[in-house]
Chains A and B, each alone.
Chain A
Amino acid sequence: MNRNAFGPSLLAAAGLIAAVATAPAETINAAGATFPAPIYQKWFEEFRKLHNDVQVNYQSIGSGGGIRQLTEGTVDFGASDVPMTDEQLSKITKYKVLHFPTVMGGVVPTYNIDGVSASLKFTGDTLAGIFLGTIKKWNDAALKKDNPGVNLPDKEITVVHRSDGSGTSFVWTDYLSKISPAWKSKTGAGPSVNWPVGLGGKGNEGVAGLVKQTPNSIGYVELIYVVQNKMSYGEVRNASGTFVKADFNTVSEAAAGAAKNMPDDFRVSITNAPGKNSYPIASFTWLLIPGKIDNAAKKAAIKSFLQWMLTSGQQYAGAMSYAPLPKSVVAKEEKQIAAIQ
C-alpha cells in the first residue's frame, strides 16, 4: 500500500466514524408486531416531520420479538398484538409495563386460487379444517357448500402460517380455539403453535409474500397487507351467523362491547365478539411502554408521541384499513400517559 496515502485515509475513516458517533438527536428504538407495522411506520414518519429531533426506529420482528426485546431492555418500547401474560410481565422487575392500545385491526383469510377472484365465504369450522389439514382440496364439500356459485378447482390447498412468534397467530388461533373443539384440543391458541400443516412465513410480510407467489394457497394476515398488495380475501361467519368482511365498521363493532368494559390494564381479546356485523377475527394491538423511563428526553418524546397518536394519529387509521380506537378507550389511555414516570 502506498505509504503516503495510508495515513490520510486512516484519518478520514476515523473522522467519518467520529462524526457519526457524536452526532446529536435521540433515536428511540422500538420493535415488535408486524400486524400494525405499516401504520406505525407511517406514524413515526409523520411524527418526525412534526418533531425533527425525534426519530423512532421501529423494526417489525413479530410480537414475540417485541416482548422479548423489551424484556431484555434492548429497545425503548415494544409492540404486540397479544397482551403480555402475567408470567411475561413478572420477568420485568425494573418497572411496570403499560399496555397502550393503538388501533384495532382484522386478521383475514387471504388466498391465491387459480381462476377465483370472488370473495369466498369461510366458517370457523372450514378454516379450522383447512389449517388442521383435514380439508385438503379447494373443491372440498364443506367449502363448496358455503360458496355455491364459485368454481373451486380440484387442487390441493397450500397452507401458509407464521414461522415466528406472532400476535397475529395468537388472534387467529384464539378464534379457531373458540370455534372449533378439534382445533383447541389438537393445536390450541398461542403466538407459536405446532402447526399441523403448511409453510412458515416470517412476519405478516412473509406470509403475504408466500401466498402471493404460491398458487392455490391460503394464509392469514392483517387487512392492510391484502389491501396494499391487492390480494383476495374472504368473509368469515361471525357469532351471529352473518358472513362479514373485515373493514373499518365491522372491526369497530367487534370492539364495541370490550370498549364499554375495558379493564384498567387494557388487556382484552375481542375475537368472536357478539354483534350482528362484527368481524370475528379482530384484535386490538398494543404498544408496550415502560412505566418508568430514566432518560428525560426519551420520556418526553414518548409521552408526546402517545398523545399525538391518540388524537391526530387516529386519523390515519381508516385510510390504512385499521379501525380507530373508540372514544372511551382514548380517554382512558390519556389518563395512563400521566402514569409514565
Chain B
Amino acid sequence: MIERNARRKLVNKAMLALTAVCTVLTVAVLFLILGFLVWNGGRSLDWNFFTRLPMPAGESGGGMANAILGSGITILIAVLIGVPIGFAGGIYLAEFGGTTLPFLVRYTADLLNGVPSIVIGIFAWTIVVVPMHRFSAWAGGFALSMMMVPIGLRSTEQFLRAVPNSLREGALALGASKTRTVLTVVVPAAKQGILTGLILGVARIAGETAPLLFTSLNNQFWSQKLNEPIATLPLMIYTHAISPYEDWHRQAWAAGLVLLALVLVANIAARWILARGVSAQRG
C-alpha cells in the first residue's frame, strides 16, 4: 500500500515536471525565433534597405523601399474595402439582426476565415486579374480584404454585444433613434475592442504572402499606377530567401525582422488597448 502510494507520488511529480518541460520548450521556441531574427536581421539592416530600390541580381547595395511602400498600399486597399464591410456587417449582426440571415452571415464569415490564404489568392485571381487581364495592386488588395472582412465582422459584433443594454435603453429613452443610438453611444463604447480587431486584422494580412503570389505579382521599381504589379515585403522575403545570393539573403533577414517587429508591435498594442479599455469600463 505504501509502495503504491510512493509510486503514485513519483508519477505525480514526474508528469507535472514533464508538463513544465513542455511549456518551457514551446515558450523557448518563440524566443529562439525572435533571437534568430534579431541576430540575423539586425546585422543586415541598413539605411539602403529602407531607401533604395532592388538592384539587378548579383549586385549589392539594393534595398526594399518599393516593397515597404507596396505593402502599405495593398494593406490600405484591403482596409478600405474590408473594414467598412466588416464594420457595417458587425453592426447589423449585433444591433439589428433576425434569425436566418445572421446565421448565414456568421456561418459564411467563419467559413471565409478558415479558407487557406492560397485559395483566397485563386479567388482574387478569378475576380480581379482575369477580367482586368493584368496583375495589379487592386488584385492584391482585394485578396487581403477578403481576409480582413471576417476578422472585422467578428470583432465588431463581439464588442458591440458586450456593450451593456442599459446604455442603449438610456439613449432610446432620451428620444434618440436607433441609428443615432448605435452610432453615437454604442459604437464609441465599443471602440477599443473594434480598434483592436482592426489592428489584429492588419497585422495578420501584413504578413500574408500566398494571396499575393499571383495577384499583385512583384515589381522591381516603384509602381506608377494601382493597376500595375506592385512589390510587397512578404513576397520579397520569399523570392530573396530562395535565391542563391548572399546579399539577397541578408536583405531577406532584414525584411523579416522589420515585418515581424511590425506584426508583434501591432499585436501587443492591440492587447494593451483592450486591457485598458476593459479596466476603464470596470473602473
Do A and B touch, yes or no (CB under 8 Å, in the complex)? yes
Check B58–A27 contact: CB distance below 8 A: no
Check A209–B242 contact: CB distance below 8 A: yes
Q: Tell me if A93 counts as interface (CB < 8 A to partner B).
A: no
Total A residues in contact with B, Cβ cutoff 8 Å: 42
Q: Tell me if A21 counts as interface (CB < 8 A to partner B).
A: yes
Q: Tell me if B282 counts as interface (CB < 8 A to partner A).
A: no
| CA of A24 to CA of B225, assembled, Å | 8
Contacts of A211 in B (CB 8 A): 244
Q: Tell me if B243 counts as interface (CB < 8 A to partner A).
A: yes
| Residue among B57, B219, B220, B242 with most chain A CB within 10 A | B57
Given the interface pairs A201-B242, A202-B242, A205-B242, the reply to whether A29 lies near B134 with Cβ below 8 Å is yes
Give 1 or 0 for each of A23-41: 1 = CB within 8 Å of chain B CB: 1111101010000011001
Check B58–A38 contact: CB distance below 8 A: yes
Contacts of A45 in B (CB 8 A): 55-56
Give chain A's interface secondary structure class: helix
Contacts of B57 in A (CB 8 A): 37-38, 41, 205, 228
| CA of A228 to CA of B76, assembled, Å | 38
Contacts of A73 in B (CB 8 A): 133
Q: Which residue of B lies closest to A110 (CB)?
A: B244
Check B244–A229 contact: CB distance below 8 A: yes
Contacts of B245 in A (CB 8 A): 205, 228-229
| CA of A16 to CA of B80, assembled, Å | 13
Given the interface pairs A74-B135, A209-B244, A228-B58, the reply to whether A27 lies near B224 with Cβ below 8 Å is yes
Within 8 A of B (CB), among A195-211: 201-203, 205-206, 208-209, 211
Give 1 or 0 for each of B234-268: 1 = CB within 8 Å of chain A CB: 00000100111110000000000000000000000
Contacts of B129 in A (CB 8 A): 74
Q: Tell me if A225 counts as interface (CB < 8 A to partner B).
A: yes
Q: Tell me if B228 counts as interface (CB < 8 A to partner A).
A: yes
Check B244–A21 contact: CB distance below 8 A: no
Contacts of B77 in A (CB 8 A): 17
| Residue among B129, B221, B229, B244 with most chain A CB within 10 A | B244
> Which of A51-59, A256-264, A282-290 makes up part of the contact surface?
A51-59
Closest-CB distance, A23 to chain B (whole angstroms): 5
Q: Tell me if B226 counts as interface (CB < 8 A to partner A).
A: yes
Which A residues are closer than 8 A to B by beta carbons? 1, 13, 16-17, 20-27, 29, 31, 37-38, 41-42, 44-45, 48, 55, 57-59, 72-74, 201-203, 205-206, 208-209, 211-212, 224-225, 228-229, 231
Which B residues are closer than 8 A to A by beta carbons? 55-58, 73, 76-77, 80, 129, 133-135, 191, 194-195, 217-221, 223-226, 228-229, 239, 242-246
11 A–B contacts, CB within 8 A, in A order: A17-B80, A20-B223, A23-B225, A27-B224, A27-B225, A59-B217, A206-B243, A211-B244, A224-B58, A228-B58, A228-B245
